[in-house]
Amino acid sequence: MKKFLLKGIFNDKGRSLLPIIVVATGTMVTVLLYSWITGIMGESIEMSSNMNTGDLKVMTRLYAEDYEQLPNDLAILNADALIAELKEMEPSVEWVKRIRFGALADFPDSLGETRGQGPVAGWAIDMLTTGTKEPHRFNLEGSVIQGSLPKSPGQCLLSEDLAKKFSIGPGDSFTLFGTTMEGGFSFRNFTVSGTVRFGAAGLDRGAVIIDISDAQSAFGMESAAGEILGYLPDTWYDDDVALSIKDKFNQKYSGDTDGFAPVMMTLKEQSGMADMVEYTNYISGLMVFIFVAAMSIVLWNGGLLGGLRRYTEFGVRLALGEDKGHIYKTLLYEALMIGTIGSILGTIIGVLIVLYLNVHGVNLSGMMKNSTLLLPSIFRPAITSTIYYIGFIPGIFSMILGNGIAGLGIYKRETARLFNELEV
């Protein structure tokens, strides 16, 4: 019977083509929306992880107490040895050194005299080592407005807005005034190799990015680092994995009472990120539920109308002696087949569009010029295992539900009314 019904679906396109198109369209849109919402909400967390928190962060205990103030006088002293230990403990995690700092930038005129000064927020990352992923995490290549990335020590990147404010560009020099790890006064000249725009007003007002080796030299932090960040191999943050690594590491140093002993924190334990992660999961789940419910209603109505249009057919089949239960069962089988075919087609199309958008992204920088949130300028939908099956929920369930409700009318048909309908 199933083979006969399947043949009827493909041969009678007037009856099956429109429902399949409707199901495929609904499934495709469901896949796209779920992937898009998950991608947008996840991108903000991912950007915070890349620039500030990491999936995991190692600091000294004293530094961790006031980590938001960036107390580099409490930094990790032998960072390379600790990174080697971390790699041995968790080789799948990528561990990187970072130094965050606040400083004063002094911009000279043509005579070398001070033309203007401004506060800057700085990141010291590994930009010069072959194969480093740090520039990619900051999306530096895609954020460069003028010039290029640093290629040698003593070069740095400035935010485009700060460079415009003081009329400075690639090739120009300025002096960075700060403090050493010992609390002394430090200054170092840097050459601007390029300017960048991140798309977040808080960063674009006054950001400077230098190489980690330049920061260690400038601030008297040779072999030291303010923070060691760890990045899990998965694209999206996994709190369960991060917690297991954190517990394993902290247990190792639980008996050490030294304030400079290392301690590890997860992304969710930093800067209110727990609320952001929970809010992201809640909003993503709510939006998907609302949309799946809406698509289910649309597809349910489609199945209901399709079943109502076939009342005459059902009447003929009943008049010929076919059992009501058998007609109802074949109607549900047809709905299942149409829903499955449409869901497969819609999922394939939706996944292909998601893959394309994930590679190329959607540039929304023009909509976020005044944004104070840490968000990327190019958004990409998320590729997760859920996109391969979420479209089947409204596609199959709603089709069966709509046809099931419409088919209840079969049991209400009376033989006397059938002959009147057939005569008409």
CA-nearest of 342, 303, 285, 319 to 418 is 319
* pLDDT tens readout for residues 255-307: 888 889 999 999 888 776 666 667 666 766 676 677 667 766 776 676 666 66
Residue 371 has pLDDT above 80, yes or no: no
pLDDT for 420 beyond 60: no
pLDDT category, 373, cuts 50, 70, 90? very low
Instruction: Give the bridge partners for 108, in sequence order.
Output: 114
Cα separation, 333 vs 16, whole angstroms:
13
CB 120 within 8 A of CB 207: yes
Sorting pLDDT into bands at 50, 70 and 90, what band is 235? low
For the chain, percent of residues with pLDDT exceeding 90: 31
CB 127 within 8 Å of CB 134: yes
Residue 174 has pLDDT above 50, yes or no: yes
65: its two tokens: 């107490």
* pLDDT of 372 over the 50 cut: no
What's the rounded Cα separation, in Å, for the pair 273 and 241? 16
Give the three-class secondary structure for 145: strand
The Cα 13–Cα 296 span in angstroms is 23
- Sequence ranges of the domains in the chain: 2-47+276-423, 56-231
CA distances from 255 to 219, 250, 351 (A): 31, 9, 50
Q: pLDDT tens across 31-75, in order?
A: 888 888 777 777 777 777 888 888 899 999 999 988 888 899 899
**Which of these, 130, 129, 73, lies nearest to 99 by C-alpha position?**
73
Question: How confident is the model at residue 309, as a pLDDT?
Answer: 64
* pTM for the predicted model, two decimal places: 0.68
What does the pLDDT average to over 377-389? Answer: 78
- Does 12 score more than 70 pLDDT? no
Which of 59-73, 323-337, 405-419 ranks highest by mean pLDDT? 59-73
Give the HSE-up count for residue 293: Cα atoms under 13 Å, Cβ half-sphere.
6
Alpha-carbon distance 62 to 75, whole Å?
9
Of the candidates 297, 293, 278, 122, the residue with the CA atom closest to the CA atom of residue 212: 122
**pLDDT at 365 (0 to 100):** 57
Cβ neighbours around 5 below 10 Å, total:
15
Distance, in Å, from the CA atom of 92 to the CA atom of 84, rounded to the nearest integer, reads 13
